[in-house]
Chain A
Amino acid sequence: DVKVTQSSRYLVKRTGEKVFLECVQDMDHENMFWYRQDPGLGLRLIYFSYDVKMKEKGDIPEGYSVSREKKERFSLILESASTNQTSMYLCASRSYRPLGETQYFGPGTRLLVL
């Protein structure tokens, strides 16, 4: 059974803190993604990674960075958290195939920045 796990379900941080969100998949997938979900805005892509040590900006990368040192792990970093980064963060992974492969999602991390 496919599995994408995220390190925390709920997280409370202070403005200016450095925040790490971790995502691990056990499906040997090449592609991994970080999304942000806000009411009325749907899911917006922050960053994605085609493979280990590869990354590309998505639609809203400002204020975020990522790291992918191992195939199974994709980390999202908020260098200096701000209140407008309060949101639900979803990680997903997908196999590298050009046939509309399914993205598999983790349960999400709800981040509150005070």
Chain B
Amino acid sequence: AQSVTQLGSHVSVSEGALVLLRCNYSSSVPPYLFWYVQYPNQGLQLLLKYTTGATLVKGINGFEAEFKKSETSFHLTKPSAHMSDAAEYFCAVSSTGANSKLTFGKGITLSVRP
């Protein structure tokens, strides 16, 4: 069984400040890890993913995340928040293998203050 924990439901930062969204996972097998973003009234869009190889993963819009196996974490960061980053962010985990399913966290809403 696999699960994802995203603590808190809302994060607010000032424009230009560091963005840190936390994600911890539980998986009985080496996981694949994903961050998706959902802008208002839209579907989900992939930000970045970790499958194998380098544990620091860079994604779109200046976001990155680091896979830390010892901490079972995959936190999302961005050095400088922009107003356009305001959205809901979902962390997800899947097992390896074809036809694997994604398990999502509950999501975190990011607000950016001018």
- The answer for the CA separation of A16 and B45 in the assembled complex, in Å, is 33
B: which residues have CB within 8 A of A?
9, 32, 34, 36, 41-46, 49-51, 90, 94, 96-102, 104-107
Interface size of A as a range: 20 to 34
Cβ contacts under 8 Å, B104 to chain A? 42-44
Q: What number of A-B contacts does a CB cutoff of 8 Å give?
A: 57
A: which residues have CB within 8 A of B?
4, 31, 33, 40-45, 48, 50, 58, 90, 92, 96-100, 102-108
Interface contact A41-B51, CB-CB below 8 Å: no
- The answer for the CA separation of A56 and B5 in the assembled complex, in Å, is 25
Query: Given A105-B43, A106-B43, do A42 and B90 touch, yes or no (CB 8 Å)?
Result: yes
Interface contact A50-B99, CB-CB below 8 Å: yes
For the complex of A and B, 10 pairs with smallest distance between CB atoms: A100-B32, A105-B43, A100-B51, A42-B106, A98-B98, A105-B44, A43-B104, A42-B104, A107-B43, A98-B97
- The answer for the CA separation of A63 and B51 in the assembled complex, in Å, is 34
Cβ contacts under 8 Å, B49 to chain A? 100, 102
